[in-house]
Amino acid sequence: MSGRESISINGLALSHLLHLKPLGSKKQHPADVRRSYRLEVVRMGVLIFPVAPQLRRDIGRIAEEEQSTLRQICKMLMYEGVESYNREGSKFMQKLLAKQKQRAK
């Protein structure tokens, strides 16, 4: 397979999500190559969850202002959140929960 071919699972094209390379030699059986690609896909996780419309608009606005994609902004925000949690531990989550409760009022 060349790097330009699209890989799909259940009709979902993954070429726009991942840059995959075969894991084995060129003499592999085609079924073995597909297994190699599948192994690589499993290493990359995809999260799908609902987002409030206003939050989606806010993140979209940030993406436009920063001349970036929605996906890139979401990844950056998630990485920052995880790093903050790793630094502060449960105190970080307590702060987030307190802010969430204030927003709900």
Q: Model confidence over 12-69: pLDDT tens digits? A: 444 444 444 544 555 555 555 455 555 455 566 788 889 999 999 999 999 999 999 9
Question: Is the pTM for the entire model greater than 0.95?
Answer: no
- For the chain, the domains span 8-43, 53-104
Counting Cα atoms < 13 Å in the Cβ hemisphere of 80 gives 6
Predicted confidence (pLDDT) at residue 79 exceeds the cutoff of 80:
yes
pLDDT given for residue 30 in this prediction: 52
CA distance 69 to 67: 7
Would you say residue 96 has pLDDT above 50?
yes
**pLDDT attached to residue 18:** 46
